A = this chain, B = another copy of it.
């Protein structure tokens, strides 16, 4: 057994059975070993940013890491933006980056570069495995780092000769049961819990901000109960990795992207209780505006951070506040009428709200054109909402792909803005190849609209035509129906609300992936 064969066996035996790949020569032994270990599902991507974003989406749905297979420093570089988003999502991801053979390194061949340096930008664990015999144990160390808590990106660099040399040692495991899925972690600080509980029971205006793992499952329910019982405002962080929402679930208001909105949401709060969420800061800085969004004089109580034992913290807070289960109001089932007339950001969101199926997973990179989508689907059947955690655009389609691989049988809706789609549209091809039930709603406003807004907000003096031109995608017009067809998908364009509703209904009812391009006016 060579190193690559032992590595794949070890991964599969420890619950990592999916690998998003974009390999090159230095990874050919890993590729060859896929035939030895059929339990490893290799999913080919045409671009590394697709592979890394898919691993993020997979982790958000399964709680388990997928592996990526990347080609040296440049391959890792291409995957970096979506690894940045995965890092911010605390998604466990295990990168396997091929390197030149150890014996080849002194020659500085064309593709050589400092892989570890690139990896450090996004990884909590970076290690080059220099011995075939130790490759599997190195992989388990990386896997442990990835799982956390907090979940994180771990990068294992595998020289080609470490892969191809005989003497690999597979380390037995018991499959997915070995993966603690981000549970456990640092025990809560009893003092902080007590202070937070007292603050919540004080009657002073308070808000609870949930993030990370607190946006799903029992933690979400309990925090909603605590908020309801204590009168605290329940907020979610601006860009949660995965928020469970819809009819029958707690109602959670997300903190606004725009600092102006977020400031209004937090105004007058005397206590802010953070539950696996970071203290709110402005996404960007703007001349003369504060970065820190916590109101002056507001006390911040961090009852659980990303690496902490969330379940214990939430249970502890519930006990100290003496809140019974099930007191939080639940979202009513409210489904909008199918829209008619002009296709706009509003009407397309209305159609989405009317049609979103139960159990859907929405990968939301709709940006400005998608801003009404969350509101219109609030009362839709229960579903998951995945957002742009790190702000590096080009996340939406790959995360949708990975979520679909991780959650077969559920419909994925990828709400995707035109500018963002163009970074990683290669994801469409893999959706077609794998026959995944992903419906992309491509919001085409022919613009980097968010930047038009930002150009005004940063206080740049009277933007001129050359500046505006840098944000305009109209010359030439981009045709996403052609692009999707080129990558092997069914695609259709909608220019009215009725057309959009019809096409979306058809796409959602059809197995496999397709794209509906919605032509909408820019809001900015």
Contacts and interface: CB of A to CB of B under 8 A. Distances in A.
Contacts of A118: 77, 80, 117-118, 121
A35 interface: yes
Interface stretch (A22-30, A178-186, A216-224): A22-30
A524 to B, nearest CB: 13
Interface in A191-234: none
Interface string A245-288: 00000000000000000000000000000000010011111010
Contacts of A75: 81, 392
Interface in A1-53: 21, 23-26, 28-29, 31-32, 34-36, 38, 42, 44, 46-47, 49
A284 B77 contact: no
Contact of A389 (B80, B110, B461, B480): B110
A512 B242 CA distance: 45
Contact of A25 (B34, B281, B451): B451
Interface in A423-458: 423, 426, 429, 432-433, 450-451, 454-455, 458
A301 interface: no
A188 interface: no
A177 interface: no
Interface in A51-91: 73-75, 77-81, 84-85, 88
A285 B105 CA distance: 9
Interface string A145-162: 000000000000000110
A79 B285 CA distance: 24
B32 A467 contact: yes
Nearest to A292: B107
Copies of this chain, count: 2
A209 to B, nearest CB: 15
Nearest to A80: B77
Contact of A390 (B85, B111, B450, B465): B111
A32 B77 contact: no
A459 interface: yes
A25 B114 contact: no
Contact of A285 (B161, B284, B473): B161
A443 B61 CA distance: 38
A117 to B, nearest CB: 5
Nearest to A87: B113
Contacts of A120: 114, 117
B110 A114 contact: no
A468 to B, nearest CB: 9
A110 B160 contact: no
Max chain B Cβ within 10 angstroms of own Cβ: one of A81, A117, A291, A292: A81
Interface in A350-365: none
Interface stretch (A370-378, A482-490, A502-510): A482-490
Nearest to A281: B107
A478 interface: yes
17 contacts: A28-B458, A28-B460, A29-B458, A31-B455, A34-B466, A35-B465, A42-B466, A46-B419, A47-B422, A73-B121, A74-B391, A77-B78, A77-B121, A103-B285, A111-B283, A164-B287, A478-B486
Instruction: Kindly list the 9 A-B residue pairs having the minimum CB-CB distance in the complex, ordered from nearest.
Output: A476-B488, A77-B80, A35-B464, A482-B486, A32-B460, A74-B392, A101-B285, A104-B285, A483-B486
Interface of A: 21, 23-26, 28-29, 31-32, 34-36, 38, 42, 44, 46-47, 49, 73-75, 77-81, 84-85, 88, 100-101, 103-104, 106-111, 113-114, 117-118, 120-122, 160-161, 164, 239, 278, 281-285, 287, 291-292, 389-392, 394, 419, 422-423, 426, 429, 432-433, 450-451, 454-455, 458-461, 463-467, 469-471, 473, 475-483, 485-489
